[in-house]
Structure 1
Amino acid sequence: MNGTMKSSAFWRDRLKASAIHLSGSLLIAALAGALVFGVWYPYPYREISGGRELFWLVVSVDVVLGPLITLAVFNRKKPFTELRRDLLIVVLLQLGALAYGLWTVSVARPVHMVFEIDRFRVVHAIEVPTEMVGRAPSGVEALPVTGPTLLAVRPFRSNQENADATLAAVQGLQLGYRPDLWQPYADAVPEVLKAARPLSSLKSRFAGRAAEIDSLLSKAGAKPDSVVYLPLVSRSYFWTVFLDSGDGRVIATMPLDPF
């Protein structure tokens, strides 16, 4: 009977310690989630750039393993200094793993949505060549940590620059990845609207989703007759960007491949 009581107390203490650890882990995970989804991957980037899946993979492993290790090592029979050392090691390992995971998410984060001739392209931090980071125009931060910004590719300054950039794009270095070709989005609005396509053509092609498009625009407070669209390209996804036909303002985005 006494042995059963001791065993019960033994596991009760371990479960309590593990539960406390789990509560702390969930709190830290919530703070990390606020950073990732509130700053680095706001909608629609959490969908387009895969930030949600990457974050949950990192955090779920970290949140589960820490409390499980605590469950395994916690024992009140250990000397206090030894128990404190073991728990400190567990916490440090867990925080180190979380820091590495957040660094991985940060490296993959979207930094800009760039208008590129006839489409928008989502540019991620890892896609910007390191040697070109310092060549962004004045007033434009190449790798912002406060969330993605809206930019555009500037006109080519010569036929040679055009040819070189086109060749580089064929080899994988897309125009939107290059800080030396960026310009403020406001400077490119005339070109954006010239390249944009009428909403009616999109609704004709995707008649089955016309009501969904109208509903999205209605929620955004836009009238269909004042909206145009352009494709949005990311790593593995094609979306649609809806724009105000007057000032080029981005109204909404939708997971619809317009190509």
Structure 2
Amino acid sequence: MFSYWYPYPHREVSGGRELFLIMVSVDVIIGPLMTLIIYDSRKSLRVLRYDIAVIVLLQIVALGYGLWTMSMARPVHLVFEIDRFRVVHAIDVPPELLDQTRPGIVALPYRGPTVLGLRPFKDDLEKMHATLAALQGLQLSYRPEFWQSYDASRNDVLRIAKPIEQLKARFPDSVKQIEAATAGKAEAARTILYVPFSGRKDFWTVLIDGRNGDILGYLPLDSF
């Protein structure tokens, strides 16, 4: 789950760690704890076997429901949206819009989130409708008809990205953390930029290679 569905930093920004702990806790409660509660040495072996079978069945159901929940909540895309990156989760995408996904893009991948961009609006009318929908909660990044490859959005990313020095100036207490995140990236060190990152729970920062727009890393800093 953490290798494919919730790789770093999504186990933090998408709540993967909390969901996993809840799932494990529920299974532990249903399993060992209920076994202790129902066990009675005076019960016949037949009755104990029946009780244990019921507990095992409940555990399997709880595990299946937990896996389904984590699957529906998993991040599927990291989309560059105008002035930020936004995480899109499987449950965020309206099912009726999935058939509008452009060729070459997997709508709901299971092997980790992919990086995408958004195509330009066709006209002012489309922009107005999209803005109204966003105000009602349907963000642009949740709409497959706007998705495009990240390569097509690299110039847009570089245009709005800001120098890493500005981030250090904004967060003087986190300079060491910022430098640690950029360590080992000597070739890109002079051109590292940053872009805000909107997750389900928190706001983070994406580090960008200023030469080509590649994503270099992430920081738990709200740079909005």
Bin the TM-score by the shorter chain: over 0.9
**Cα gap change, 1:61/1:41 in structure 2, threshold over 3 Å: closer, same or farther?**
same
1:87-138 deviation line (CA, Å, top 9, x unaligned): 2111011110111112112211111100001110011111111111121111
- Find the residue that maps to 2:218 and give its secondary structure: strand
Distance (Å, rounded) in 2 between the aligned partners of 1:220 and 1:68 = 49
Q: Name 2:60's counterpart in structure 1.
A: 95
> In structure 2, how many angstroms separate the alpha carbons of the residues matched to 1:64 and 1:236?
27
Aligned to 2:103: 138
> How far apart are 1:60 and its partner, in Å?
1.2
Q: Summarize the alignment of residues 86-165 of structure 1 with structure 2, pairs less than 5 Å apart.
A: 86-165=51-130
1:237-252 paired onto structure 2 within 5 Å: 237-252=202-217
* Cα distance in structure 1, aligned partners of 2:42 and 2:168: 71
Does residue 207 (structure 1) correspond to residue 176 (structure 2)? The answer is: no
Q: Equivalent pairs: percent with the same residue?
A: 50
Contact 2:26 2:62 (8 Å CA) reproduced: no
Give me the whole-angstrom Cα distance separating, in 1, the residues matched to 2:42 and 2:178: 64
**CA-CA distance at 1:174 after TM superposition:** 0.8
CA contact (8 A) 2:205 2:220 kept: yes
Deviations 1:49-97 (A, max 9, x none): 1111121012112123311222233456644443332221110111101
Measured after TM superposition, the shift of residue 150 of structure 1 is 0.6
- 1:200 and 1:218 map into 2 onto residues whose CA distance is 15
Q: Deviations over 1:176-209 (max 9, x none)?
A: 1111100011111111111211112222222222
Q: Please, what TM-score do these two structures have when normalized by structure 1?
A: 0.81
Gapped regions of structure 2 (runs ≥ 5): none
Is the Cα contact below 8 Å between 1:193 and 1:245 reproduced in 2?
yes
SS of the residue 2:197 aligns to: strand
What's the counterpart of residue 162 of structure 2? 197
**Unaligned ranges ≥5, structure 1:** 1-35
1:197–1:99: structure 2 CA closer, same or farther, 3 Å change rule?
same
Aligned to 2:33: 68
- Give the TM-score normalised by the residue count of structure 2: 0.93
**Counterpart residue number, 1:188:** 153
Query: Which of structures 1 and 2 has the bigger CA Rg?
Result: 1
Please, what is the CA RMSD of the aligned residues?
Answer: 1.7
Higher helix share: 1
Q: 1:256: how far off? A: 0.5
How far has the Cα of 1:215 moved from its partner? 1.5
- Asked if the contact 1:199–1:224 (Cα under 8 Å) also holds between the matched residues in 2, the reply is no
> In the alignment, what sits opposite 2:24?
59
Query: For the Cα contact (< 8 Å) 2:38–2:51, is it kept in 1?
Result: yes
**Number of paired residues?**
224
CA distance in 1, matches of 2:33, 2:201: 36
* Structure 1 SS opposite 2:7: coil
